[in-house]
């Protein structure tokens, strides 16, 4: 029952992020395939997956190609109903919010591209962006009021949270003003292990040139600051096997004079960019 999931760049592709989150958050088995979103090979990489022509896209274990994030979500929910809230009223609102995200908020999406590397200082939102953000704030407030949650929108993490994760990144990265309740939700999204893991993997492959530049100064990333770490040229490391694969270690990083090993440069680098995002690594670090 393993799906194939096709993703673009992690730092800038907000739809890819949603695709990955919906698999990881619900422990749905998948093989990830990165396709060339920014290097011109997208159509060629997806040619075998018609009718898909954008990322994310997936192939089900029984061979069906599914394009479009919302169609993927609904297809997965047929086998994994926990993707949607259990309560019928909550589910109806969640579906509406996801649909509205999927088809709307054009000003926010065009003016405030998702960028998980850094924030922008001094961004001035126009009236259309402010109206989109006010609507998002209202929808979040309605979800919290209905569910009584002060965490995820409908209590348990659901597709509504998946679809609004990149929205939280756009709001935080551009310093857009929201209510206190919405700001707490934005912070919660940016602190979520899976959000941090996706971002840390993205930071291992910086794009050059970077897309969606603004004529503004870069500021720090508004999410949790990573534990400072750096690559180490060699072992020995405290751990003999990689925390993720269990394979022998070949690549190393250092935190506070302590050396840890990984089975390849990607496993090391995704850890380096945010060690605390990775429970399997933290189990070794804290032992």
Ligand X SMILES: N[C@@H](CCC(=O)N[C@@H](CS)C(=O)NCC(=O)O)C(=O)O
Angle at 160 between CA 206 and CA 278, to 5 degrees: 45
Tell which positions 252-281 bind ligand X, by CB under 6 A: none
- Residue among 7, 22, 52, 54 that touches ligand X (CB under 6 A): 54
12/118 Cα distance (integer angstroms):
11
For residues 127-156, which are near ligand X according to CB under 6 A?
A: none
* CA 239 distance to own-chain centroid: 28
Closest separation between CB of residue 259 and ligand X, Å?
Answer: 37
Shortest spacing between CB 219 and ligand X, in angstroms: 23
Is residue 229 a contact residue for ligand X (CB under 6 A)? no
Among 20, 49, 68, 108, binds ligand X (CB under 6 A): 68
Widest CA span in the chain: 57
Q: Which is nearer to ligand X, 11 or 13 (CB)?
A: 13
CB closer to ligand X, 102 vs 135: 102
Rounded CA gap, 12 and 120, in Å?
14
- Total residues at the site for ligand X (CB under 6 A)? 13
CA angle 161–53–1, rounded 5-degree value:
60
Which residues on neighbouring strands pair with residue 152, listed in sequence order? 155
Candidates 63-71, 137-145, 173-181, 273-281: pick the segment binding ligand X (CB under 6 A): 63-71
Site string for ligand X, 4-43 (x = CB under 6 A): ----x----xxxx--------------------x----x-
- Minimum gap (Å) between residue 64 Cβ and ligand X: 16
202 touches ligand X (CB under 6 A):
no
Shortest Cβ distance from residue 164 to ligand X (Å)? 14
- Residue 115 engages ligand X in binding (rule: CB under 6 A): no
Question: Quick one: 9 or 274, whose CB is closer to ligand X?
Answer: 9
Structure-token match 């009718």, residue found:
51
What residues between 70 and 89 interact with ligand X by CB under 6 A? 70
Q: Is the Cβ–Cβ distance between 270 and 201 less than 8 Å?
A: yes
- Distance (Å, whole) CA 166 – CA 235: 38
Helix ranges, the chain (H): 14-24, 42-46, 69-79, 88-103, 106-111, 127-147, 159-173, 180-191, 193-203, 265-273, 279-285
- Chain positions contacting ligand X, by CB under 6 A: 8, 13-16, 37, 42, 54-55, 68-70, 102
């Amino acid at each position: 029952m393993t799906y194939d999931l096709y993703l673009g760049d992690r730092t800038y592709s907000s739809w890819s992020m949603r695709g990955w989150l919906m698999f990881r958050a619900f422990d749905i088995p998948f093989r990830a395939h990165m396709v060339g979103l920014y290097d011109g090979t997208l159509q060629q990489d997806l040619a075998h997956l018609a009718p898909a022509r954008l990322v994310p896209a997936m192939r089900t274990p029984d061979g069906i190609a599914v394009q479009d994030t919302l169609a993927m979500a609904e297809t997965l929910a047929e086998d994994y109903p926990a993707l949607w809230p259990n309560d019928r009223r909550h589910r109806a609102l969640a579906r509406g919010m996801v649909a509205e995200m999927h088809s709307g908020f054009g000003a926010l999406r065009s003016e405030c591209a998702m960028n998980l590397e850094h924030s922008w200082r001094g961004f001035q939102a126009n009236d259309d962006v402010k109206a989109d953000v006010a609507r998002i704030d209202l929808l979040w407030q309605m979800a919290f009021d209905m569910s009584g949650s002060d965490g995820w929108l409908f209590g348990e993490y659901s597709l509504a949270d998946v679809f609004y994760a990149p929205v939280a990144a756009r709001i935080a990265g551009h310093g857009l003003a929201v209510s206190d309740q919405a700001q707490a939700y934005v912070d919660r999204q940016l602190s979520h292990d899976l959000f941090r893991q996706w971002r840390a993997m993205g930071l291992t492959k910086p794009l050059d040139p970077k897309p969606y530049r603004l004529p503004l100064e870069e500021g720090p990333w508004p999410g949790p600051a990573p534990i400072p770490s750096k690559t180490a040229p060699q072992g020995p490391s405290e751990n003999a096997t990689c925390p993720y694969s269990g394979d022998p270690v070949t690549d190393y990083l250092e935190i506070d004079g302590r050396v840890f090993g990984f089975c390849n440069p990607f496993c090391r680098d995704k850890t380096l960019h945010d060690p605390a995002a990775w429970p399997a690594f933290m189990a070794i670090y804290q032992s």
